[in-house]
């Protein structure tokens, strides 16, 4: 994994990160994951790719400012969660997290990726289209809280060299 941005580095999520990861999830989503969901992703036999972006500033405790969870289902990498702290957005952290997770997914045998995103989520759509995802379908009224439609996007095939370049961009 690269560490291009001066103080933000990416690494695997650990159990010790859960309080900060869950707080980030609550800060970023209207419907956060149920309690213990992240702990489940980190169980010893899990095949999920779980990464955090950690900010290390001199004189301060390390702070988790981003996270991603990708499920590996056969040759498919499904993006289950991706979030960056509001005050740290627009600096490439989200793109680096996703590119790194997809690269690890490729190394684990995934050859394509899929995800759902709210049609109104301009920031996420920009990030996904920038990585090469294409819209392949719509799920009307998919989100329970607002009944908003979900766009279904796929990235097929995963290109490890392109992902590596994006991870470092
Ligand atoms: C979506 C999210 C993860 C993006 O994280 P980020 O670190 O700000 O994204 P990046 O800085 O890596 O930006 C990637 C691209 O998206 C663009 N982008 C980011 N925020 C944007 C915005 N609000 N509007 C338009 N484009 C935006 C960036 O300009 C960049 O594009 P570029 O490659 O053309 O320069 C972040 O906004 C977030 O956590 N949102 C809330 C949770 C969420 O919606 N997660 C996705 C669920 S599907």
Q: Do the domain assignments include residue 2?
A: no
Rounded distance from Cα 54 to ligand 1 centre (Å):
17
Q: Do the domain assignments include residue 88?
A: yes
Question: Is it the case that residue 5 has pLDDT exceeding 60?
Answer: no
54-58, 59-63, 71-75: which is most confident: 71-75
Q: Mean pLDDT throughout 92-108?
A: 97
Question: Is it the case that residue 6 has pLDDT exceeding 70?
Answer: no
Q: Mean pLDDT throughout 85-102?
A: 97
Q: Mean pLDDT throughout 97-107?
A: 98
Model pLDDT for residues 12-26, shown as the tens digit of each residue: 999 999 999 999 999
Q: Mean pLDDT throughout 69-92?
A: 97
Backbone φ and ψ for 86, nearest 5 degrees, come out as: -50, -40
Q: Do the domain assignments include residue 3?
A: no
Q: What is the mean pLDDT of the chain?
A: 94
Q: Do the domain assignments include residue 47?
A: yes
Q: Do the domain assignments include residue 90?
A: yes
- Please state, for a pLDDT cut of 90, what percent of the chain lies above it: 90
Question: CA 123 to CA 53: how far, in whole Å?
Answer: 18
Predicted pLDDT at 3: 44
Rounded distance from Cα 45 to ligand 1 centre (Å):
31
Question: How far is the CA of 124 from the CAs of 63, 84, 119, 134, 157, in angstroms?
Answer: 22, 11, 10, 13, 20
Q: Sorting pLDDT into bands at 50, 70 and 90, what band is 1?
A: low
Model pLDDT for residues 119-134, shown as the tens digit of each residue: 999 999 999 999 999 9
Residue 145's CATH number: 3.40.630.30
Rounded distance from Cα 164 to ligand 1 centre (Å):
19
Q: Do the domain assignments include residue 137?
A: yes
Within 6 A (CB) of ligand 1 lie 28, 82-84, 89-95, 117, 121-124, 126-127, 130
Q: Which atom of ligand 1 is nearest to the CA of 66?
A: 39
Count of the separate structural domains present in the chain: 1
Rounded distance from Cα 155 to ligand 1 centre (Å):
17
Residue 78 · residue 71 · CB < 8 Å: yes
The H-or-E segment that residue 19 falls in is helix 18-28
Predicted pLDDT at 2: 46
Q: Which atom of ligand 1 is nearest to the CA of 169?
A: 33
Which pair of tokens denotes residue 59? 């004189």
The beta strands (E) that lie in the chain are given as: 8-12, 49-55, 63-73, 76-84, 112-118, 134-139, 150-155
- Please state, for a pLDDT cut of 70, what percent of the chain lies above it: 96
Q: Do the domain assignments include residue 41?
A: yes
Domain that holds residue 26: 8-168
Question: CA 144 to CA 119: how far, in whole Å?
Answer: 14
Pocket test for ligand 1, best of 33, 64, 88, 126 (most atoms within 8 A of CB): 126
Q: Do the domain assignments include residue 1?
A: no
């Amino acid at each position: 994994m690269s560490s291009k941005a001066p103080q933000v580095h990416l690494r695997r999520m650990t159990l010790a990160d859960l309080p900060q990861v869950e707080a980030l999830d609550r800060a970023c989503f209207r419907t956060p994951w149920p309690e213990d969901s992240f702990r489940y992703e980190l169980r010893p036999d899990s095949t999920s790719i779980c990464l955090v972006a950690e900010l290390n500033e001199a004189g301060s405790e390390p702070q988790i400012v981003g996270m991603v969870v990708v499920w590996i289902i056969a040759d498919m990498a499904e993006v289950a969660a991706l979030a960056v702290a509001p005050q740290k957005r627009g600096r490439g952290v989200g793109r680096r997290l996703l590119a790194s997770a997809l690269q690890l997914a490729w190394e684990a045998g995934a050859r394509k990726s899929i995800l759902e995103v709210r049609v109104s989520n301009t920031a996420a759509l920009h990030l996904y289209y920038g990585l090469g995802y294409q819209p392949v379908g719509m799920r009307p009224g998919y989100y329970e809280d607002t009944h908003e439609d979900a766009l279904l996007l796929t990235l097929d095939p995963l290109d490890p060299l392109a992902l590596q370049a994006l991870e470092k961009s």
